């Protein structure tokens, strides 16, 4: 899912964003896409304290009759410098090794029916099921009806309910690396020292026949 460093620098520079800018990301899909964008910025070295997601996204903003505009922002191209934090991405080889070593726990953001292999995958060419020894926490369990995150106390309860070891490093997976970022952001709300770490290939890579 991740682009290369030079492409990311060009994308962000063309938006006029600087390295020391405070960034608020929002979308129209109940925070799913904005969480992935949040992760991308952190992966490419933006200060994690300066990157945020609008809780509830644009839908909630509009529903509450908050200010919107049809005007386009005037963009002055910047010279954004990115630095990859490669430790925040886990690859398939590391996932396979960990099945035996059990150095970290993998939590899958897909729904339980997909995780348990009870229904076929929506992408062609993928087998059903999940990574051995992984845990399931559907990302939707962490989101309220209005698109906001549930309370921190409830987030902790949800993670504890998976029976994973919260003292271990946590790696998040899903279908394609997007909703895994929802789990990563949610976990960062209850552990401010946690840096989001994703198996970026996720089941779209691991589940190939």
Nearest to 194 by CA among 59, 48, 2, 75: 48
Count CB neighbours of 41 within 10 A. Answer: 19
Number of H helices, E strands in the chain: 8, 7
- Asked whether the beta carbons of 143 and 35 are under 8 A apart, the reply is no
Catalytic residue among 35, 136, 164, 174: 174
Nearest to 186 by CA among 144, 146, 142, 134: 142
- Asked whether the beta carbons of 90 and 198 are under 8 A apart, the reply is yes
Q: What's the residue count for the chain?
A: 209
Active-site residue, 174 included: yes
* Catalytically annotated residues: 174
């Amino acid at each position: 899912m991740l682009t290369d460093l030079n492409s990311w620098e060009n994308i962000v520079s063309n938006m006029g964003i600087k390295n020391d800018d405070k960034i608020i990301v929002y979308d129209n899909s109940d925070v799913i896409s904005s969480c992935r964008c949040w992760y991308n910025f952190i992966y490419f070295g933006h200060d994690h304290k300066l990157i945020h997601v609008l809780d509830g996204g644009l839908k909630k903003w509009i529903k509450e009759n908050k200010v919107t505009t049809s005007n386009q922002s005037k963009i002055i191209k910047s010279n954004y410098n990115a630095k990859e934090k490669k430790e925040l991405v886990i690859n398939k080889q590391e996932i396979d090794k960990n099945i035996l070593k059990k150095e970290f726990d993998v939590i899958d953001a897909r729904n339980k029916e997909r995780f348990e292999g009870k229904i076929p995958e929506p992408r062609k060419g993928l087998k059903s099921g999940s990574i051995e020894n992984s845990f399931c926490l559907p990302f939707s369990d962490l989101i309220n009806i209005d698109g906001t995150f549930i309370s921190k106390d409830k987030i902790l309860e949800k993670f504890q309910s998976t029976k994973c070891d919260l003292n271990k490093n946590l790696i998040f997976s899903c279908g394609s690396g997007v909703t895994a970022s929802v789990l990563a952001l949610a976990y960062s709300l209850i552990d401010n020292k946690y840096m989001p770490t994703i198996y970026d290939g996720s089941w779209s890579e691991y589940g190939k026949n």
